[in-house]
Structure formats: structure tokens, C-alpha cells
Amino acid sequence: MSERRAVVTGAGSGIGLAIARELLSRGYSLLACSRFDHELDALAGALARGRVDRFARDLATQEGVSDLLATVDRLESPPDLLVNCAGLGAWGEHLAIDDARTRATIAVNVAALTAITTHVVRAMVGRGSGRVLQVASTAAFQPVPMFATYAATKHYVRAFSDALRDELDGTGVTITVLYPGPTKTAFIDAARFPIEGAAGSVGWIAKQTLLDPADVAKKGVDAALRGDRGVVVGPLNQLQRALSKVLPDTATRAIWKALRGRM
């Protein structure tokens, strides 16, 4: 039996790195993608053993996405698993966020994810099997003031992935969406997401509920390999998901506004 192979974007840090390590522990070889080449040094041991091929490009650019798709096409066969974990975000008042950062967030979280998923899934369908793991966020379940663009892109990931999964019924290819909440990764700092604040504030709650990336990775990979539709990690995040099903958007916006006011 040939070695199982996975393509993992965002593999140089955070949840993506944790997923890469989880897959290596399960015997997968990887095409590990990151924006910066030096980030992939975190997989040095596996790189040295020839189990990881490194790919460093900026997926906010069309050139970066095209280069990745060309690299995937050069593999001996379509990957057994595609993990879309590359993502950007910026916390703050939307009108105050740099426009270039907003464009890059949409480019990576929406355009690149769509192009990569479409290209790889076509090949998987041609073979008759494959798994896709899309890393979204609990921000996909309601509007999030101060995280407007990021949350909107994660709504897209959820809607796109759920619809495509249904279209793929009977093809042997499944799509799973992973919904972590705030996690102990560099994304928190890069997005300038607050993890401090008065008791009961957004930052205070986030600090109390930060997830371990290794646990998020394991639960996400388990769900993808089972072919589950989605998985929400963390009991409080599961409660948030349940409430989002019954509370109107006006109520969730009011809650966010009250929490933000305590920062």
C-alpha cells in the first residue's frame, strides 16, 4: 500500500502546525505549505527523514495559489487528505483596519481556500476517494463586531463547505469543517485579538477558554477521517454553537456589544 499523503496549508504555525504533526504521527507524508519558509523548520525532523515536502508561498497572491496547485498536480496521485488551515484576521473597528489587510484576509480565507478546494476535490472525485478538512472558527456562527471581515470569511467557509459536501454525496469524497474557538497560537497576537480585560469581557472570556492546538488538531483529524460534517471543539464553544441556533442575530450582537463594553 502506498503511503498516505496530505496537503496542509498554514502548516508552519498554530493549528496548522499541530495538524501537520498529528498527521505525521499517523504515518502520513506531507506537502506542508506556509507563507514563510523558515516557519517550516518546525517540522525539521520529518523534513530530514523525507516525509515532508516544503512549499513556501503567500496564498494571498494569485501566483502563490497557482504555484501550489501546480505543485499538487506534480504529485504521483491526488492527496488522500487536504487541510485548508491558512488564514488571516484582524481585530478592531472595521473602518480603522488597513484596507490591504482586509483584502489579504479575504484573499486567503475565501479566494485561496475556494480555488485550492475546487482543484484538489476535482482530482479526488476522479479517483473516487478523498477527505477535506476546512479550518473555520466559532466566528462562523454569528456576526462578530470588531472581527467583522474575519467572521464573514468564516461564515463563507462554513456555507461553501456544507453546500459542496452535499453536492459530493456518493462520490467517495467528504468535507469536514473544524470550528475551534480562541486557541493558544500566534494567530492571537497577529490578529491583535485581546486576551486580557475586565472580568466578563471578550478578552477575559477568551483567556479562560483558550484551547490547546494539539487537542484541536486531533479532534479535527479524527472528524475528517471519519467523514463527519463538522466538529466544534471545546464545551463552551459547543454551548455557543447551540445558543447561536436559537438566539436571533439581534441578541448575539447585543451580547457582543455588552462584552466589548467591558474591555
Half-sphere exposure of 92 (CA within 13 A, CB side): 14
Alpha carbon distance 82, 194 (integer Å): 31
The stretches of the chain forming alpha helices (DSSP H) are 14-25, 44-48, 62-73, 99-106, 113-127, 148-167, 187-190, 202-208, 213-226, 235-246, 249-260
CA 158 to the chain's CA centroid: 11
Half-sphere exposure of 95 (CA within 13 A, CB side): 0
Report which DSSP code applies to 211.
B
Q: Which of 213, 193, 212, 211 is nearest to 203 (CA)?
A: 193
Report which DSSP code applies to 56.
E
Q: Is 150 a catalytic residue?
A: yes
Catalytic residue among 28, 150, 156, 179: 150
Query: Catalytic positions, please?
Result: 150
